[in-house]
């Protein structure tokens, strides 16, 4: 499931997983003091440090994903017609996970055709309403 996400969604997912891991480690570390007393303090310290690093890492990933999403190419998905963002030359739709590509060798629709379709929808009033 993690690997067939849109890249921005995957970054967010990893950020969330790291936050949960960090919080889990901090909770476990604190629990270590309660259950093992003095011996648990070393375990708690390690847990807190790793937990903190993990949470800072996840913050970095969130920040990075935010930066990336502002520079990401925004386009309408040809499959589900929702506005999605893609990173790099090939990415998946954030909603239906259709693989989108800018590489003409891999595409079954040329960029010109895609652009024409997008411009057509943007400029003209479509007869059917959503
Ligand atoms: Zn889609």
Alpha-carbon torsion angle 78, 82, 83, 86, nearest 10 = -60
Residue 16 Cα to ligand 1 middle (Å) = 23
- Rounded average pLDDT over 102-114: 70
The pLDDT of residue 32:
79
pLDDT in tens, 98-107: 888 887 777 7
Query: How far, in Å, is the centroid of ligand 1 from the Cα of 5?
Result: 11
pLDDT at position 123 is 46
| 127 compared with 96, residue with greater pLDDT | 96
Label the pairing between strands 83-86 and 90-92.
unpaired
Instruction: Determine which helix (DSSP H) or strand (DSSP E) holds 91, and give its type and residue range.
Output: strand 90-92
Whole-number Å distance, alpha carbon 89 to ligand 1 midpoint, is: 16
Question: What's the 3 CA to ligand 1 centre distance in angstroms?
Answer: 16
pTM: 0.59
| CA 40 distance to own-chain centroid | 36
Residue 58 Cα to ligand 1 middle (Å): 27
Return the minimum-mean-pLDDT range out of 25-34, 42-51, 105-114, 116-125: 116-125
Per-residue pLDDT of 70-88, as tens digits, reads: 888 888 998 899 999 988 8
Break the chain into its structural domains and give their ranges.
7-71, 74-123
């Amino acid at each position: 499931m993690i690997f067939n996400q849109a890249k921005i969604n995957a970054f967010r997912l990893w950020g969330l997983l790291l936050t949960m891991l960090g919080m889990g480690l901090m909770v476990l570390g604190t629990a270590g003091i309660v259950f093992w007393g003095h011996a648990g303090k070393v375990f708690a310290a390690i847990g807190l440090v790793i937990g903190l690093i993990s949470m800072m890492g996840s913050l970095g990933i969130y920040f990075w994903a935010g930066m990336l999403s502002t520079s990401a190419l925004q386009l309408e998905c040809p499959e589900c017609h929702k506005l999605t963002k893609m990173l790099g030359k090939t990415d998946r739709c954030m909603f239906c996970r259709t693989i989108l590509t800018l590489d003409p060798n891999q595409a079954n629709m040329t960029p010109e055709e895609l652009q024409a379709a997008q411009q057509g929808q943007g400029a003209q009033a479509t007869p059917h309403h959503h």
